[in-house]
Amino acid sequence: MKRPALVWGGLVVALLALDVAVQGTMLLFALADPSFAVEPDYEWKAEHWDEVQRERSRSTALGWSVGLRTAPAAEPGRIEVELEVADPTGAPVAGAEVELAAFHNARASRVLAVRLRPVGGGRYAEALALSRPGVWEFQVAIVRGAERYVGRFRESVP
């Protein structure tokens, strides 16, 4: 009588162990997937939705025109990313601090963050190692004195 109970008990334990192994394997695959990403500060942005929208509205109210351009850099394997910023009158916005975060849409968890250097005439640039061709998202924050502009751009990179 003890033998069938031991077999059935062992079968239940084996099935549970198999389930834990399968779930653990799936979790490892999910965490190692470079195409999976979560929006940074998602919970804060959700809780402070009005504040995020006000920041976007203030950026629009500045009237700055911001253009992003990408081109192959002189250094092999790098792409020159240039941002041109002008005020509502068309005058260049000089003396700003420009931070850029870039990621490929297929690898959103791999974010490149860099501060762009001023190159004159309201232009800011840096050569980045954008290793994958395709559509990239660029998130910019431009600060000049008390003025702050935030924006997102999608650009096809060769």
The full set of domain ranges for the chain reads 1-32, 42-157
What pLDDT, on a 0 to 100 scale, did the predictor assign at position 1? 52
pLDDT string in tens for the chain (158-residue length): 568 878 888 899 999 999 999 999 998 887 787 777 777 788 888 898 898 899 899 999 999 999 999 988 888 888 999 999 999 999 999 999 999 999 998 888 888 999 999 999 999 999 998 888 899 999 999 999 999 999 999 998 88
Cα separations in angstroms, 116 against 106, 113, 144: 24, 10, 14
Please state, in angstroms and rounded to a whole number, the distance separating the CA atoms of residues 88 and 108: 33
Q: CA nearest 157: which of 97, 84, 102? A: 102
Please state, in angstroms and rounded to a whole number, the distance separating the CA atoms of residues 108 and 154: 13
Element of type H or E holding 55 = helix 49-62
Q: CA nearest 55: which of 153, 116, 142, 117? A: 142
Please state, in angstroms and rounded to a whole number, the distance separating the CA atoms of residues 73 and 82: 11
- pTM for the whole structure: 0.75
What pLDDT, on a 0 to 100 scale, did the predictor assign at position 110? 86
CATH number of 42-157: 2.60.40.10
